[in-house]
Amino acid sequence: VYENMSLKHKVLTDSEQYLSDNGVWASNTSTLPITHLAEPSNKPDNFIGLHFFSPVDKMPLVEIIRGNKTSDETLARAFDFVQQIKKIPIVVNDSVGFFTSRTFAAQLQEASTMVSEGIHPVRVDNLGKAIGMPVGPLTVNDEVSLTIGIKVRETQIEAGLIRAEDDRWPDGNKLIETLAKEYNRQGRYHGDGGYYDYSEGNKAIWPKLLEMYHKPELEISDRDIKDRLLFINVIESLQCLEQGVVKSVADANIGSIFGIGAPVWTGGYIQFVNSYGLERFKARCDELTEKYGERFRAPQIIEEKMSTGELFT
């Protein structure tokens, strides 16, 4: 059941009658708010989000999402279930994209934006790996599908959850739509190529991608590319903490490492700020903001911690 609110509502209304009296309905949605998904339910207090990560047999994290009407008992049962199946649970509050999908998407959109600017895509991928990401962000996007991000975004706009005019990565998202819709480059997941062509276990950049976007004369440092890929994740994580989406620093750190491939050396995206230094982090955010836009502005929570001399704990 893909990320479509109407389809998920239909499945719920058709099937909920077969649920046992104290049964829990858990959705594996990665982006759609649990509160909205539970609206047709006769027992919204028994409705919760259990977001598993792919590949499920290898990824240890499960993100538990509590809707506005999810009961304490349902949350406790979900938490116990996740531990019983030997997974690592984190609990987050309901929102668009929750914690992990929001942060993960920011990295992919920043990477596509850099390609749209003219940076060689292989350079983007290689520098992503250089900072400790298990796989380059463009390769990851090919693997999970380019179209899923498009469909999720369209669904969120249609449902009034986000506004198209608030897009922080308009050029990057336009590039992804061009690949998927105009050239049928939906990603390796669909059997097609995406950023890359795939054949007999090998991959190479799709030549037309370079024809359309690559600017060999463009000057940008490796440091800026690496920091853009890392800092955009950290900033998104800080915003989730500031907004109460993620409930604790520990959950943010655990979720970023075990769910979305944060470089292990960071200790998690929030812990990275402690190690980097809050004043130094804000100063670098200011530099990136001046060069690349407001999406790199340090969240207010940084100023608050600096004023009290506290770290994130």
Please give the positions annotated as active site. 63
Contact 275, 266 (CB under 8 A): yes
Alpha carbon distance 183, 240 (integer Å): 35
The set of residues, in sequence order, having a beta carbon less than 8 Å from that of 140 and lying 6+ positions away, is: 108, 261
- DSSP classification of residue 98: T
Residue of 144, 183, 164, 102 lying closest to 2 (CA atoms)? 144
Residue of 133, 79, 83, 109 lying closest to 256 (CA atoms)? 133
Cβ-based neighbour number of residue 198 at 10 Å? 16
The set of residues, in sequence order, having a beta carbon less than 8 Å from that of 182 and lying 6+ positions away, is: none
Where are the alpha helices (H) located in 62-169, listed in sequence order? Answer: 72-84, 100-117, 121-130, 137-144, 146-158
Q: Find the Cα–Cα–Cα–Cα dihedral 290, 292, 295, 297, rounded to 10°.
A: -20
- C-alpha distance from residue 152 to each of 102, 161, 180, 184, 259 (Å): 12, 11, 14, 18, 19
- DSSP classification of residue 206: -
Alpha carbon distance 99, 62 (integer Å): 12
Contact 64, 82 (CB under 8 A): yes
